[in-house]
């Protein structure tokens, strides 16, 4: 049986780094003897330019018929002035998340030993390797809550969580902790928000089912601070949509470059995989973007959606090998080092598989 993948390169550096990921895919297909059926489709600003919609019907169809979606990145200053429903962010990515009912966003933040100097945090704080995972609720909360309204003199968003929605994301958090370091920190604002009070109650009740996981709770303002002061205390963070959006960017920043971090968004049937970083319009088209986040997103897809664990580990090991050998794109080079291009990095990874 062959699996179908919707390939959505998107905007900015998306198409360049997607090409890299597809070359890596071809290499692991050959090595491990499988073949995915790929269908490319438009999304974001480039889709708007070509069709007038950031999520054209043809793209929806390709995604609905796929077993997984591999996405590049969307957005750029060119499309910032559009009405909200036509922007790459709201009309493209958020609409696709909603359509596929993507409810859990897994964002690992790992700092490579060799890249510690890239982190804005001091060596003192980074005495060990940062390796944390944010499990962000993606389908509900203030992003989607109703009523939602915007007039000339009033803007309204609604933060709402039901017990069932919290249970579903917390289960992902507990299970991720079981697979990893057995520590789960649930982040909320339960000293103020009703949705957070419910969140904390539900997560606390569930802890009895996961006796091997050590559960803690933290207010989001404190969590933002603790990530800076002592990121090593975290293993898995589970949190709501907006808090997860903010904290996952913060954890990514600790790692030095957004160009290294993949993400997975789990749906009921179809999951989506994309780099944690954005479309980097400032360097788009120059052939210098770091393709690692896209390539590691491919690895997450192979493992999570298709259970191709060997192929996924081969990709991760090849990436580790490149980082260890000092092969660096511009975002992760030290002064005095010569950065490699997107193409050179891709070839170096492929040669190690
Ligand atoms: C992200 C992005 C999106 C979000 C934007 C582009 C809508 O920041 O994936 O984190 O806020 O979820
Ligand atoms: Mn974000």
Share of the chain above pLDDT 90, in %: 92
pLDDT at 1: 66
Residue 115 lies in a domain: no
State in Å: Cα 22 to ligand 1 middle. Answer: 24
Structural domains in the chain (count): 2
Residues 250 and 278 reside in one and the same domain: no
**C-alpha angle with apex 298: 42 to 275, nearest 5 degrees?**
65
Q: Which ligand has the nearest atom to the CA of 139?
A: 1
93: Cβ below 6 Å to ligand 1? yes
Expressed as residue numbers, the domain containing 265 is 1-105+259-353
Residue 240 lies in a domain: yes
Residues 221 and 290 reside in one and the same domain: no
- Surface-to-core class of residue 299, CB atoms within 10 Å of its CB (0-12 exposed, 13-18 middle, 19+ buried): buried
Burial 68-96 (b: 16+ CB within 10 A, else e): bbbbbbbbbeebeebeeebbbbbbbbbbb
Q: What is the torsion angle, in degrees rounded to the nearest 10, for the CA atoms of residue 202, residue 98, residue 36 and residue 317? A: -50
Residues 170 and 228 reside in one and the same domain: yes
- What CATH number does the domain containing 296 carry? 3.40.718.10
State in Å: Cα 253 to ligand 1 middle. Answer: 15
Residues 281 and 250 reside in one and the same domain: no
What is the per-residue pLDDT across 8-44, written as a single tens digit (0 to 9) for each? 999 999 999 999 999 999 999 999 999 999 999 999 9
Tell me the H-state helices in 207-353.
220-229, 241-254, 292-304, 309-324, 342-351
Query: In the predicted model, what is the mean pLDDT of residues 137-159?
Result: 97
94: Cβ below 6 Å to ligand 1? yes
Question: Among the atoms of ligand 1, which is closest to the Cα of residue 249?
Answer: 10
Residues 277 and 198 reside in one and the same domain: no
Active-site residue set: 143, 189, 221, 245, 249
Residues 156 and 242 reside in one and the same domain: yes
pLDDT at 334: 81
Q: Has this prediction a pTM greater than 0.75? A: yes
Query: In the predicted model, what is the mean pLDDT of residues 265-282?
Result: 95
CA distance 100 to 97: 5
Q: Which of 219, 254, 289 is where one domain is finished?
A: 254
Name the residue with the closest Cα to ligand 1, atom 12: 245
Residue 331 lies in a domain: yes
Name the residue with the closest Cα to ligand 1, atom 10: 245
Residues 173 and 82 reside in one and the same domain: no
For residue 74, pLDDT over 80 is answered with yes
Cis peptide bond N-terminal to 54, omega within 30: no
pLDDT at 337: 84
Residues 245 and 232 reside in one and the same domain: yes
Residues 72 and 127 reside in one and the same domain: no
pLDDT at 218: 98
Residues 201 and 178 reside in one and the same domain: yes
State in Å: Cα 246 to ligand 2 middle. Answer: 6
């Amino acid at each position: 049986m062959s699996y179908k993948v919707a390939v959505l390169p998107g905007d900015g550096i998306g198409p360049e780094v997607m090409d890299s990921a597809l070359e890596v895919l071809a290499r692991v297909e050959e090595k491990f003897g499988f073949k995915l059926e790929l269908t490319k489709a438009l999304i974001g600003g480039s889709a708007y330019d070509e069709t007038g919609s950031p999520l054209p019907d043809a793209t929806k169809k390709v995604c609905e018929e796929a077993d997984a979606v591999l996405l590049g990145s969307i957005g750029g200053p060119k499309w910032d002035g559009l009405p909200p429903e036509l922007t790459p962010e709201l009309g493209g990515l958020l609409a696709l998340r909603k359509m596929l009912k993507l409810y859990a966003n897994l964002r690992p933040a790992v700092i490579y030993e060799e890249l510690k100097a890239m982190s804005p945090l001091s060596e003192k704080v980074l005495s060990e390797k940062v390796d944390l995972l944010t499990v962000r609720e993606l389908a509900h909360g203030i992003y989607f809550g109703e009523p939602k309204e915007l007039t000339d003199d009033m803007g309204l968003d609604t933060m709402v969580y039901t017990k069932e929605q919290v249970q579903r994301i917390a289960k992902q958090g507990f299970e991720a902790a079981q697979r990893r370091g057995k520590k789960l920190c649930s982040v909320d604002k339960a000293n103020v928000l009703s949705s957070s009070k419910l969140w904390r109650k539900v997560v606390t009740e569930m802890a009895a089912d996961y006796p091997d996981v050590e559960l803690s709770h933290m207010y989001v303002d404190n969590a933002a601070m603790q990530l800076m002061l002592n990121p090593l205390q975290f293993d898995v963070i589970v949190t709501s949509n907006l808090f997860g959006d903010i904290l996952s960017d913060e954890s990514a920043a600790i790692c030095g470059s957004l160009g290294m971090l993949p993400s997975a968004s789990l749906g009921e049937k179809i999951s989506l995989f994309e780099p944690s970083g954005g479309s980097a319009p400032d360097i788009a088209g120059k052939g210098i973007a770091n393709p690692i986040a896209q390539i590691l997103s491919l690895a997450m897809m192979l493992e999570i959606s298709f259970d191709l664990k060997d192929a996924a580990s081969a990709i991760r090991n090849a990436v580790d090998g490149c980082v260890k050998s000092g092969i660096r794109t511009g975002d992760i080079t030290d002064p005095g080092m010569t950065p490699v291009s997107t193409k050179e990095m891709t070839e170096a990874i492929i040669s190690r598989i």
